[in-house]
């Protein structure tokens, strides 16, 4: 078992990660009858994509002795109607200043593309991922 999710009412849930006990709250977004006071479930999907990309890049960077500490990303989720679903996730990653070789850049770009979350999302969901090496 991975987690337990409890519906608290008013379109809010609390999820508890079994192994760590960490919790997260979700709210329905304002544009879908919610309060928008926390991540929505679809926000979590979009954010999970960026987190997964960083995780795989971090594993790869460690293997190749590449320092990516301080990299950060912005995530934009675009919804579609009929049916209501995530249409596009845009992840832009700014890499920290470093003298990246062309080989290191290729290694990190391949790692970003190998994210299991991205590979698990429906093919109709457009994923726009960019890495900015300064």
Could you read off the pLDDT tens digit of each residue along the chain, which spans 134 residues?
Answer: 999 999 999 999 999 999 999 999 999 999 999 999 999 999 999 999 999 999 999 999 999 999 999 999 999 999 999 999 999 999 999 999 999 999 999 999 999 999 999 999 999 999 999 999 98
**Which residue spans within the chain are E strands per DSSP?**
3-9, 12-17, 23-27, 72-80, 85-94, 126-132
For 56, the domain range is: 41-132
Distance between CA 32 and CA 60 in Å, rounded?
Answer: 38
Q: Are 73 and 55 in contact (CB under 8 A)?
A: no
CB atoms near residue 26 (< 10 Å): 21
Question: Do 34 and 54 reside in the same domain of the chain?
Answer: no
Is the model's pTM score more than 0.75?
yes
Q: For the chain, report the end-to-end CA distance as a whole number of angstroms.
A: 41
- Does residue 20 sit in the same domain as residue 3? yes
Same domain, 46 and 106: yes
């Amino acid at each position: 078992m991975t987690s337990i999710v409890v519906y608290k009412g008013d379109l809010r849930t609390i999820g508890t990660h079994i192994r760590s006990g960490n919790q997260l709250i979700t709210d329905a977004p304002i544009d879908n009858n919610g309060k928008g006071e926390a991540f929505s479930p679809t926000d979590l999907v979009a954010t999970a994509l960026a987190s997964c990309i960083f995780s795989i890049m971090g594993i790869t960077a460690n293997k190749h002795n590449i320092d990516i500490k301080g990299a950060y990303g912005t995530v934009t989720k675009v919804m579609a109607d009929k049916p209501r679903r995530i249409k596009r996730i845009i992840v832009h990653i700014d890499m920290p200043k470093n003298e990246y070789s062309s080989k290191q850049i290729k290694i990190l770009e391949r790692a970003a593309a190998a994210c299991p979350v991205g590979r698990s999302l429906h093919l109709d969901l457009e994923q726009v991922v960019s890495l900015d090496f300064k």
